[in-house]
Amino acid sequence: MNKASPRAGRLAGSIACAFILVSTLTSAAVAQPAEKAVARSAAASNCLRDQGIPSHFWCINKPGIRVEWAGQTVGYLNTNTNWFTCRHEGDPTGGGGPHPNRWIYTLADSPISHGGWGFVKDSDVVDETNPLPPC
């Protein structure tokens, strides 16, 4: 029996989600006048709940960001679309943005320690994170 790893499933989901998002954004930009397309791309979308795993929310983020736990780097998110489980209002992130004290909980693509579980700065997530439940 060939059992796929959770990371392989996550990668496949990330690729599929990114493809759908790019397709949607491309067709929306083509169908509208240029000034409306620019305004739409500047506005953040909401993170989307995974229909298969309701505790996961898919968000667009900056690739290569650090995942932290207790001030230590526990891994990195390699792609620009990842799932997150919840948000935490805590210490200032130093990243600014609309939620300067918000941290988002996830599992690193490339774990180093702590099993890869930790928080990323909200300012490193492009999408609006308000839909995520509090941790």
pLDDT, tens digit, 9 for 90 and up, residues 81-101: 999 999 999 988 877 788 999
Tokens of 52: 């298969």
Mean pLDDT calculated for residue range 56-67: 96
59 near 82, Cβ under 8 Å?
yes
Q: How far apart are CA 7 and CA 108, in angstroms?
A: 10
Q: Is 50 exceeded by the pLDDT of residue 130? A: yes
pLDDT of residue 122: 95
Asked if 95 and 124 count as a contact pair (C-beta separation under 8 A), the reply is: yes
Q: Is 10 exposed, middle or buried (0-12, 13-18, 19+ CB in 10 A)?
A: middle
Query: Quick one: pLDDT band at residue 43, thresholds 50, 70, 90?
Result: low
User: For residues 130 and 122, what is the distance between their CA atoms, to the nearest angstrom?
Assistant: 10
Q: Is the pTM of this model over 0.75?
A: no
